Amino acid sequence: MTQAVAGGRSLDDWRAELRAWLGEHVPRALPPLDGHAASAGYRAWERKLADAGYAAVHWPVEHGGRGASERERLVFQEEYERARGPVRINIQGLMLAGPTLMAFGTERQRHRWLPAMLRADEVWCQGFSEPDAGSDLAALRTRAEQSGDDLVVNGQKVWTTGAHYADWIFALVRTDSAGPKHRGITWVMIDLRTPGVTVRPITQLNDRPEFAEIFFEDVRVPLDNVVGGIGNGWRVAMTALGFERGVGRRSYIQYLNRLESLRRAVASAGVRLDPAVELEFGDVLAQVLMYRDYASRVAAEATADPPTATAAYNKLIWSELQVRLFQLGESVLRATGDLRDGASTERAEEWMAEYWYARAARIFAGTNQIQKNIIAERVLGMPR
Ligand SMILES: Cc1cc2nc3c(=O)[nH]c(=O)nc-3n(C[C@H](O)[C@H](O)[C@H](O)COP(=O)(O)OP(=O)(O)OC[C@H]3O[C@@H](n4cnc5c(N)ncnc54)[C@H](O)[C@@H]3O)c2cc1C
């Protein structure tokens, strides 16, 4: 069995252990993650992390984690970014479904799903959004009716990240349409290989499928797959969304790495930046360092169930920082000559792919306008 992180060891020792292991084991570039076949290398990497006790350091030791505090988890994130580890294929499972099962699942449910989640033998995706239910999530209409020991699910989800290589989805479904709309919602685990499930990848302008839409037609799901009880899905989902917006999700190191790569591009091109761009460079660096200190403070205070307003602040900070950083990069890479109409360098192509994705960060995990609403209501006490 793996050891807990704690036990008298310092954060520096933990960092050194991680740096050594990741330095030795992080794989070279894996192929783009655009379907089941391409996911094999990512799954193998997750198994290796799990075997070494690093797949989910924040999970309790009894479930195969290291019982890491928020601070220790942040150190893991920092070292992972520093080592340029691959995209974590089962992030929705490890960050959302797993902790949610620990909070609301039965012993049998934890035993059924957590071990396979940890080793990415089963990869998870998040089925909340629907064509007419995004910010107003409680408007969701995917229906689930009880039939014997099953729920029968009909409806559609959309923007489901990674559904085209996932095996399972944790979905919010409507089990009651009569009362207040927040009340009749249920959280249920659905095997994507069940008859009646169709996953249709959504191809983006860059020809890559990032997410999919999912159709459910008379899909039979055992009632045993309901987590937290019928009609209690809203409460379960709000806890899960706190995990999604929390500080463990982003590390300042990835932003520092980006700034450093821009600095190197400027040095090797031997150009002088426009003073306004230079000023922005300094401002973004200051923002990154502020984010580092903020995240570290929040991590020191954090409990397992992050306060909603803190999670909202955090999401606003990292997503806005990302947009600003990639905008800065666009100006810098134009100045260095990397970014040119029809003749950009590979570095600039990669940068611009992330530049576009950064804009999506204002939308996923709850849009930034919604985060501002939360802060206005919960922190400033403004009326709804
Ligand atoms: C890259 C990416 C990945 C995603 N992955 C997933 C996933 O894996 N699973 C999943 O379930 N969903 C996922 N989503 C969907 C995401 O959660 C929704 O797009 C988001 O919640 C917004 O919903 P919507 O698109 O329906 O926009 P809408 O809710 O229609 O919002 C449209 C605009 O109106 C604004 N708005 C709406 N209501 C208010 C209000 N009350 N006050 C102020 N402004 C308001 C919004 O901020 C937004 O600017 C993903 C989205 C993206 C971009």
| Location of structure tokens 């998870």 | 124
The confidence score (pLDDT) of residue 304 equals 47
Contact yes or no for 343/321 (Cβ under 8 A): no
The confidence score (pLDDT) of residue 341 equals 86
The confidence score (pLDDT) of residue 8 equals 63
Residues 6+ apart with CB under 8 A from 178: 184
What torsion do the CA atoms of 269, 275, 281, 286 make, to the nearest 10 degrees? 150
Would you please indicate which residues are annotated as catalytic (active-site) residues? Answer: 244
The gap from C-alpha 100 to its chain's centroid, in whole angstroms, comes to 14
Spatial distance between the Cα atoms of 150 and 349, rounded to a whole number of angstroms: 49
Q: How far is the CA of 58 from the centre of ligand 1 (A)?
A: 28
The confidence score (pLDDT) of residue 295 equals 81
Run of H or E residues at 99: helix 98-104
Q: How far is the CA of 127 from the centre of ligand 1 (A)?
A: 13
Using the atom order of ligand 1, give the atom closest to the CA of residue 129. Answer: 11
The confidence score (pLDDT) of residue 42 equals 97
- Domains annotated on the chain, with CATH: 11-89 (1.10.540.10), 124-231 (2.40.110.10), 246-378 (1.20.140.10)
Provide the residue-wise pLDDT of the chain in tens; the chain has 384 residues. Answer: 456 675 567 899 999 999 999 999 999 889 888 888 889 999 999 999 999 999 999 999 999 999 998 888 889 988 998 898 999 999 999 999 999 999 999 999 999 999 999 999 999 999 999 999 999 999 999 999 999 999 999 999 999 999 999 999 999 999 999 988 899 999 999 999 999 999 999 988 777 888 999 999 999 999 999 999 999 999 999 888 877 766 555 678 889 989 999 999 999 999 999 999 999 999 999 999 999 888 877 777 755 445 678 878 888 998 999 999 999 999 999 999 999 988 889 899 989 988 998 999 999 988 999 999 999 998 889 988
Which residues are near ligand 1 (CB < 6 Å)? 125-129, 134-135, 159-161, 211, 360, 363-364, 366-367, 369-370, 373
The confidence score (pLDDT) of residue 365 equals 86
Q: Are strands 124-127 and 168-174 parallel, antiparallel or unpaired?
A: parallel
Contact yes or no for 210/161 (Cβ under 8 A): yes
